[in-house]
Structure 1
Amino acid sequence: MPPFDTLWHALRHWAGKTPDRIALREGDGALSYQHLAAQAEGYARFLRSTGVDSGDRVIIVGLNVIEWVVAYLAVMRLGAIVVPANNRISAIQMAELARLLDARLAISDERHQPLFAQAGVKLLSLEAVASLSAQEELPDFASPQAPALISFTSGTTGEPKGALLSTAALCKASEVFRKFFRATSADTTVVIAPMFHNTGFIDQFGQMLLAGGETMLVKEFHRKEAIAAFKAAPATFVTAVPSVLRMLMILDDADAVFGPARTVLFGGSPMPAAWSREMLERWPHLELVHGYGLTEFGCACSFLPPEMIVDFGESVGFPAPDAELRLVGEDGQDVPQGEIGEVWVAGPTRMTEYWGRPEATAQKLSGKWLRTGDYGRMDAAGRLFLDGRRDDIINRGGEKILPSHLESLLAERPEIGYSVVIGVPDPILQQVPVAALEIRPGHEFDEGAARTFLASRLPAYAMPAHFILFDPFPRIASGKVDRRNVREAVIRMLNDRSPNLGDTHET
């Protein structure tokens, strides 16, 4: 397989070599590589006729549909900068996003067009993408150094930060997945994450595009639709956060998801060892891989190989292909093996900058290195273990508490499905730890038993001051728990001294 300079070079290659092979499916619809290339080029000509030029920012908002992918490819074909936007933000946030980008236009499905009510940007219909074309000449392909995509970091609140990836970085990010997972034109994947997330357009669609494989889109994630998609297009590559994988595992039709699969990639949080063991007992042919990624790095920073999942499942493994990792202390020097430091990462998939945020860019980049804001340690074999975010460290009267350590202990309790440990303000101690919990169906939480369990494993200062139950946790688009939302809810509840907050209550 030849190396590709851009995703478009890959699309053109497969459109010529295997024109009739299916590239993209969604429901009963499908596009071959030849037709995908033709539709994307046709829409690129139309966008050109509306005045879109290289470097212009174009926002795309919609569900996981074929038209979304066609528009995504068409914008890139012009050398414009595509912005896959979160369809779950508010109209006010979308207006802030459009102003930050100084966007040329937006392409949205009908359902999400109200998000642009205050954006002051020209709006095109996503549903019309497949039918629009023009006779405009197309420019040469963008250079590898040209900006290609702005991906906004996870979350639905706070100051938006858009990581700018070059044409080469975007292509290389997908190539990292193709290379590590040995993808070929015989491979398939089903996208259940939103396509605006890196998982959708880099890990899955991008990987399959480079390999000449097939991508099935689930328009909007619901269990019934997801199972139908896996049955219609059995996937060899499956990826999701652990909580979503667990939900799929317990379905009656779980064999349709995991039976045909070769590889299951998970990230965002460790997979509980019990879940990994159960998955391998039921589907022993599977290769389970734990990945660690960042929006600012095209997602792929490290992978834990399948042979280490059972014994070292909490580790995020070793550097991804062409990536470099180091752990840096407060003095700016590398920390010794086994000690905790901030994870810095370097490689060809690193972002160029945060769009329109020079101060944030300066704080994030140091030479070739990206400062992740994650703390971690390496064992003697060079495996990386994450120990929480810089901002997550809890300072209780001068004693430092790592939330990830507490969360790891709480995961051993059979009744606890998921936990989030946060620090809340305290007038005397500065901060105290609080454990927010999601209890597994059919189980009850016994605070006394949990405290006894933790007391034998923790110093007294690290014991949670409160245990608060959520049913369920709020989650962001990728399926990960929205820690910021959880923190705000907990602090609000404690400040109000109220025993109830919606579905949340203190034990």
Structure 2
Amino acid sequence: MYYPQLQTAADTLPFHAGRVPEQAAIRCEGREVTYGALHRESNRIARALRAHGVGAGARVGYLGKESERYYEIFFGCAKSGVVLVPINWRLAPDEVDHVLRDSGAELLFVERDHLDVAEQRQPNLPALRQIVEIDRERPEDGLARFKDGTSTSDLDHVARPEDPVVQLYTSGTTGLPKGVVLAHRSFFGIRDLLAEHGVDWLDWYPQDRSLISIPGFHVAGIWWAMQGFNAGVLNVCMRMFTAHDAVTLIREAGITTTLAVPSMLQMMLAENGVSREDFATLRMINYGGSPISETLLQRCQEIFDCDLSQMYGLTESGNCAICLPPEDHVPGSPRMRAAGKPYPGVSVKIVDSAGRPVPTGEVGEICVRTPAVMLEYWGLPEATAKTLVDGWLHTGDAGYLDADGYVYIADRIKDVIIIAGENVYPAEVENALCKHPAVAEAAVVGIPDQRWGEAAHAFVTLRPGSSAKPRELMLFVRELIAEFKVPTRYEIVDVIPRNPSGKILRRKLREQFWADQDRKVN
């Protein structure tokens, strides 16, 4: 189902509320909201934002897990021209502080579990004027009071495809996450290209039931949810992913399509007693975040018994730019080592360090040109100019093109580590480690991990006369950074290798772990 008249997130609910008002739009923990009700309640959010002095272009934060209320707030922001800043609820307090401070969020919607962190930080955040508590146990919570007295009628604000709608924070090479500003077009561009070229790599049917299992603070999560809402289908939302709950929802809710990372698929398949019958309604699984092993692919094809489609993209690319479609998912085929081929209308080139295109088969940096590309890094014009060059997004991934136009990823130019689909930059972890009084220097690299794709390994030098055990270091950094960023292994060394200019030789540190791997990423 393709509705070309939908071009912004502000268009989606009014259209479906007029077309199928009683159709269920979202279900979460048994609670179900129709398209008509979601439209009305998001209108109330939009009007309440305006009544509280939050104007178009302002930033509003959301700190909490997935729920129907998150999407009510998202659409309310989209309708009023406000930019939503979803915050990873697993971040440490200092990391939450950075996102709120950097974005200049004027208002924060926060679930009760995270209220203490928000209230502790608010006095030192001059832009943050208001905190709205969301308590799912009480119908008349802060969100209800925030909307109290507002009309359900449409606003007069007109959103444009180029207007910003969300600001997602991605790990930074300097240790501070950057705000990636995405426009409405980022959630419609690929859909439009597929329809224009008659390609069914991402298709929807009236009876589809979509599982939202990736959180909305990720570009993959919010992008996938928007595809389901744009198609007017039922979206079944998980508060947070667990393999047991995912299997149960797929079976009991009759899920037909979803987006996941390979580690999530592996965990579902590892659940006791799973069989084809649990996944009988599935027709398509889209996955990304890391490649899929041949062993896992074969297991997926055996038990899920549905089409598989691999997506490659970045937050900066507005999610997917390259796809390995179902017909290329053949175990044993060389194509299975590819990230895929560009979506129709998306261009890819491989360049050398000087920005010059390299011949077919030669490794260089992967650059993409896509209508879904980000607007900017918030408040970082130099970083934006370095990443977006003449309309091309420089991904920081090293790879090559084959003669048929398939993209293969060989390594990373950037230092990012990808753990179960989560981006982790070494600088963030190193900065945290170096705050320990015994640590002189730290270097963190990604190493292969069978379950999560990659894991963080820390090399640490100690100050003269100091000592520290790995467990001590692990417990220390847990207080400063999100749990998923914490290294699983620590190695005390005499010296960390550097080049003549003082830069850490990460490639040298990684070699011992990746020497027997086909790819230098996982």
Same fold (TM over 0.5): yes
2:171–2:178 Cα contact (<8 Å) kept: no
Greater mean deviation of Cα atoms: 71-80 or 318-327 = 318-327
What is the CA deviation profile of residues 440-485 of structure 1, one whole-angstrom value per residue up to 9, with x for unaligned ones? 7xxxxxxxxxxxxxxxxxxxxxxxxxxx9xxxxxxx9xxxx96x75
> Which residue pairs with 2:42 in the alignment?
40
Matched, 1:9 2:11: yes
> Which residue pairs with 1:368 in the alignment?
391
Aligned 1:4-153 pairs, distance under 5 A: 4-116=6-118, 117-119=120-122, 120=125, 121=128, 122-127=130-135, 128=141, 129=143, 132-133=147-148, 134-135=150-151, 138-153=155-170
Measured after TM superposition, the shift of residue 248 of structure 1 is 0.6
What letter is aligned with 1:323?
Answer: V
Matched, 1:298 2:318: yes
> Which residue pairs with 1:410 in the alignment?
none
Measured after TM superposition, the shift of residue 318 of structure 1 is 0.7
2:243 is aligned, of 204, 219, 223, to 223
Matched, 1:345 2:353: no
2:402 is aligned, of 365, 379, 383, to 379
Measured after TM superposition, the shift of residue 229 of structure 1 is 2.2
1:248–1:254 Cα contact (<8 Å) kept: no
1:7–1:209 Cα contact (<8 Å) kept: no
2:99–2:169 Cα contact (<8 Å) kept: no
What letter is aligned with 1:123?
Answer: I
Measured after TM superposition, the shift of residue 433 of structure 1 is 12
1:148–1:170 Cα contact (<8 Å) kept: no
Aligned 1:274-423 pairs, distance under 5 A: 274-284=295-305, 286-310=306-330, 311=333, 312-392=335-415
SS in 2 for 1:180: coil
CA RMSD of aligned residues (A): 3.5
Matched, 1:171 2:209: no
Measured after TM superposition, the shift of residue 175 of structure 1 is 5.4
In structure 1, distance between residues paired with 2:171 and 2:279: 27
Q: Give unpaired runs (5+ residues) of structure 2.
A: 136-140, 419-423, 427-442, 452-469, 471-477, 497-511, 514-522
Instruction: Name the % identity.
Output: 28
Q: Give unpaired runs (5+ residues) of structure 1.
A: 394-402, 405-419, 423-431, 441-467, 469-475, 498-505
SS in 2 for 1:301: strand
1:43–1:130 Cα contact (<8 Å) kept: no
SS in 1 for 2:15: helix
In structure 2, distance between residues paired with 1:156 and 1:193: 24
CA separation of 1:187 and 1:435: change in aligned 2, threshold 3 A: closer
Measured after TM superposition, the shift of residue 145 of structure 1 is 2.0
CA separation of 1:21 and 1:243: change in aligned 2, threshold 3 A: same
Matched, 1:237 2:240: no
What is the CA deviation profile of residues 238-263 of structure 1, one whole-angstrom value per residue up to 9, with x for unaligned ones? 22111110111122235465321111
In structure 1, distance between residues paired with 2:494 and 2:208: 52
In structure 2, distance between residues paired with 1:111 and 1:151: 21
Measured after TM superposition, the shift of residue 38 of structure 1 is 0.9
2:310–2:323 Cα contact (<8 Å) kept: yes
2:186–2:318 Cα contact (<8 Å) kept: yes
Measured after TM superposition, the shift of residue 308 of structure 1 is 1.2
SS in 1 for 2:339: strand
What letter is aligned with 1:60?
Answer: Y
CA separation of 1:391 and 1:296: change in aligned 2, threshold 3 A: closer
TM-score (norm 2): 0.74
Higher relative contact order (CA 8 A, sep 6+): 2
What letter is aligned with 2:267?
Answer: M
1:186–1:213 Cα contact (<8 Å) kept: yes
Measured after TM superposition, the shift of residue 435 of structure 1 is 8.2
CA separation of 1:255 and 1:62: change in aligned 2, threshold 3 A: farther
What is the CA deviation profile of residues 381-409 of structure 1, one whole-angstrom value per residue up to 9, with x for unaligned ones? 1110111210349xxxxxxxxx99xxxxx
1:190–1:233 Cα contact (<8 Å) kept: no
In structure 2, distance between residues paired with 1:195 and 1:434: 27
What is the CA deviation profile of residues 30-62 of structure 1, one whole-angstrom value per residue up to 9, with x for unaligned ones? 011111111111121122211111001001111
What is the CA deviation profile of residues 475-500 of structure 1, one whole-angstrom value per residue up to 9, with x for unaligned ones? x9xxxx96x754xx656544599xxx
1:209 is aligned, of 229, 234, 249, to 229
Greater mean deviation of Cα atoms: 49-58 or 191-200 = 191-200
Measured after TM superposition, the shift of residue 228 of structure 1 is 3.0
CA separation of 1:118 and 1:156: change in aligned 2, threshold 3 A: farther
1:173–1:299 Cα contact (<8 Å) kept: no
1:271 is aligned, of 292, 296, 308, to 292
What letter is aligned with 1:282?
Answer: I
CA separation of 1:140 and 1:437: change in aligned 2, threshold 3 A: closer
